[in-house]
Amino acid sequence: MRKAALVFGLGLLFLLWAVLLPLADRSSFSVHMVAHMGVVAGAAPLIAIGLSGTRFDFAVGRGWLTPLIASLIELVAVWAWHVPAMRALSESSVFFAAAEQVVFLGAGLALWLSCLGGAATGREERRLSGTVGLLFTSMHMTLLGALLSLSPRPLYGEGEVTCFGVTLTAAADQQAGGVVMLLVGAAVYLAGGVALLAQTLNSGTPGSLERSGR
């Protein structure tokens, strides 16, 4: 299970970084958002599942890296890279585009590993904290996606762009990107938070308490 998750996560990361971004129109905001959501809500949780409990689980031994702290790190990373000036840097510079993707992956792995990995001790408390962290992330991604979708004017560029072969105006491109964030990002983090909450509740049932006492 873990090996399969790791392979799929790395494979998705390869497709996003080696195929999508080099070949697609990087000036398209919706292309950017597909890559962004693919990294933080697709590749990162899969890789985190594969790395959890291994020597590459960097959440182990870092008690300060709680899900709440990691969710704040992701909030800063996501919102900062969507400031119009930072988006312009990413579109115009390969270095900044690569830095953006590395930051997204690092922030995503930090959050998902803080929820799914870490030391064996305190795992129940970390699950509950992870529920809050993932739900908070879902909320701020929902807010950002809604702001981008409902903005009365385009924040990124003015001309037409090509998104997977379809020509879009800057406003339509931004709206499509906001919808991708709403449908993918918010939904994945919400599902992750609900799943962690379900595990926490199940671990507190009488049957699970009896099994843990044996």
Return per-residue pLDDT of the chain as tens, 214 residues.
889 999 999 999 999 999 999 988 888 999 999 999 999 999 999 999 999 988 898 888 888 899 999 999 999 999 999 999 999 999 889 999 999 999 999 999 999 999 988 766 777 788 889 999 999 999 999 999 999 999 989 999 888 998 888 899 999 999 999 999 999 988 999 999 999 989 888 875 544 434 444 4
Residue 213 located in a structural domain: no
The answer to whether residue 92 is domain-embedded is yes
Residue 67: name the closest of 29, 116, 25 by CA. 116
Residue 46 in any domain: the answer is yes
In a domain, 19, yes or no: yes
- Is residue 141, in this structure, part of any structural domain at all? yes
* Residue 212 forms part of a structural domain: no
Establish if 21 belongs to a structural domain: yes
**Which residue segment(s) compose the domain that 116 sits in?**
2-55+63-204
Domain count within the chain: 1
102 domain-assigned: yes
